[in-house]
Amino acid sequence: MRMSRLLVRTLREAPADAEVASHQLLVRAGYIRRLASGVYTFLPLGLRVLHQVERVIREELDAAGCQELLLPALHPLELWEQSGRAALFGSDALPAMTVDARGGTFVLGPTHEEVVTVTVGAEVDSYRQLPLTVYQIQVKFRDEARPRFGLLRTRELIMADAYSFDVDKDAMQFSYRTVFDAYLRIFGRLGLDVTPVEAESGAIGGDVNHEFMVPSAVGEDEFVSCPSCGYAANVEAATRRLPERVGGSGAAPTDLVEHHTPGRSAIADVVAYFGDDVTAAAFLKSMAVVDAEGRPTLLLVAGDREARLPSGWRLFDDADFSAHSSLVKGYIGPIGQQADGIRVVADLGVGRDGSWVVGANRADHHLGGALLDRDFTVDEWGSFAQVVTGDHCPRCGEAVQLVRSVEAAHTFQLGYKYSEVMPGSDFVAEDGSEAIFSMGCYGLGVSRLLAVLAEEHHDDRGLAWPTEAAPFQIHLAALGAGRSPEVAEAADRIYDQLVAGGIEVLYDDRDVSPGVKFADADLIGTPVRLVVGAKGLARGVVEWRSRTSGEERELPVDATVSELVGS
């Protein structure tokens, strides 16, 4: 491709809304352009990188025995109602978008579990057709409330999503591991240091699932990592080791004292009321929730920790509070709650010695000096606080650390979540009985990977793509070709021969200064730069330079193509 014909305009300054390096560089180098908040156009350079990433994905998934198909982006709303996920629309768990058309209401597909289940179910009727894993690469739609960081958080994204269908759970776990390993090979080829971590399933569902996290200073996620044993989990799923609670507070008796705390419903405000005498760690955070079985529950964690809600749990809404008058918003405490039918669960950290400041269960009041087992009791203990750096690993007991990161992929062992409710999911098992699919699903954000790659592979001059993802393998620059027929002829000849040899070349044949050409070459970031100039030709050489290492060497003009095509 000649740059004189390429649709590209490089920018010396980043747009004002570009906060992170990947966003700034992808715009400046002419890979993407913003159409609306969270919506981007991929210009030719950007599309070439997308195609390169897609090629790696297809090669690895095909090698793992997966088959590519293409499912509709428009889903009849009835399918989502049948699976039960339509009730989640508009929530943080499932920011979905719908459109009203002449044929009814349709969902702009954020994921494809419902559609692929009925599609495969209509084609498979015997165990002999299983196992089966299909995948597609398609645009997904998300009603993202807070698009930011360019391609890292958008309203639409290109995703490679795969779905496995097996005869039973054991077979599904084997298929899951097959795709899991293929993902590791994909990230390895793209030069990304990825860590699979245990995670919560969210709106997708299933028991076992993993997020593939790329450590990044601009990531909006964090995972817990144990350097000693390798334990890794998303902060929402991570647990920590604490000693077993043995009963009794171990504290000297204290009086229960009521304090008038008008307008101080937040812990920080109550801390300010008590002054220097206490810290947030002395307060008991009491959260009204509904557990996965629909039971009203009070969750207790220390005031200096963030709570971790298990999968399927949710916070009380207004209707829940109206049905339980003992729970007063902002002033909830554990004392007497079981008598009102509220189950009390607590993080193991609540079992420490000493008294607590708790809500008094009436507006504008707190209680000081509350003791576990004297003033309140706990029905169930567990790890309900988010893990922080320095906590003890649940496996080996050593200190863990938090790692800021970007989620690049997510895999789920769905089991029978969808096959139990979607039509046509039954097949004839080997023994002649009727069975239903055991499923897995796997999502990899293709367009997000451009941003992740750009974050991990750049310097102060621009992008520096790994070979597998680069839009071109060689950036050929002809210096002074307009004034020197010899330079133009040599550069044209090298370009034609490289292309004939199967190498993708970006040929800068523009009539601009060498400084502009070099700056654009560094900004665009192809792995190798070749320079053809009058001084080098006079000595019979062209200049070769690695974008990543900065290594430079001279190649004989007559042997340039043979060296590069054969390398």
CB 114 within 8 A of CB 75: yes
**108 pLDDT higher than 70:** yes
Distance CA 258, CA 396 (A): 42
* pLDDT recorded at residue 87: 86
Domains of the chain: 21-238+402-454 (3.30.930.10), 257-382 (3.90.960.10), 472-566 (3.40.50.800)
Rounded mean pLDDT of 146-162? 93
What percent of the chain shows pLDDT beyond 90? 77
Give the pLDDT confidence score for residue 442 in this predicted structure. Answer: 97
Q: What's the pLDDT score for residue 252?
A: 59
14 CB-near residues (< 8 Å, 6+ apart): 23, 24, 25, 27, 28
- Tell me the per-residue pLDDT of 359-397, one tens digit each, with 9 for 90 and over: 999 999 999 999 999 999 999 998 899 999 999 999 999
- CB-based burial of residue 504 (10 Å sphere; 0-12 exposed, 13-18 middle, 19+ buried)? middle
Q: Which of 67, 172, 159 is nearest to 110 (CA)?
A: 159
Q: Is the pLDDT of residue 485 over 50?
A: yes
**Rounded CA gap, 172 and 166, in Å?**
5
Exposed, middle or buried by CB within 10 Å (0-12, 13-18, 19+), for 539? exposed
Confidence of residue 253 (pLDDT cuts 50, 70, 90): low
Q: What is the rounded distance in angstroms from the CA atom of residue 347 to the CA atom of residue 395?
A: 18
Q: Which residue has the tokens 């190498």?
A: 503
pLDDT higher than 80, residue 237: yes
Taking the C-alpha atoms of residue 330 and residue 278, their distance in angstroms, rounded to an integer, is 19
Query: Taking the mean position of all CA atoms in its chain, how far away is CA 421?
Result: 28
Residues 155-210 pLDDT 10s: 999 999 999 999 999 999 999 999 999 999 999 999 999 999 988 765 555 678 89
Cβ partners under 8 Å of residue 215, min gap 6: 193, 195, 403, 404, 405
Query: Order of strands, edge to edge, in the sheet holding 505-508?
Result: 505-508, 474-478, 528-532, 541-546, 552-556
User: Among 236-245, 305-314, 416-425, which range has the highest average pLDDT?
Assistant: 416-425
State residue 246's pLDDT score: 47
Give the contacts of 195 (CB within 8 A, at least 6 positions apart).
212, 213, 214, 215, 223, 225, 232, 403, 405
CB of 151 within 8 A of CB of 446? no
Mean pLDDT of 531-552: 95
pTM for the full predicted model? 0.86
Lowest mean pLDDT among 23-32, 106-115, 511-520, 556-565: 556-565
pLDDT tens-place string over residues 450-464: 999 999 999 999 999
Angle at 275 (CA atoms; ends 269, 281), nearest 5 degrees:
70
pLDDT at residue 466 greater than cutoff 50: yes
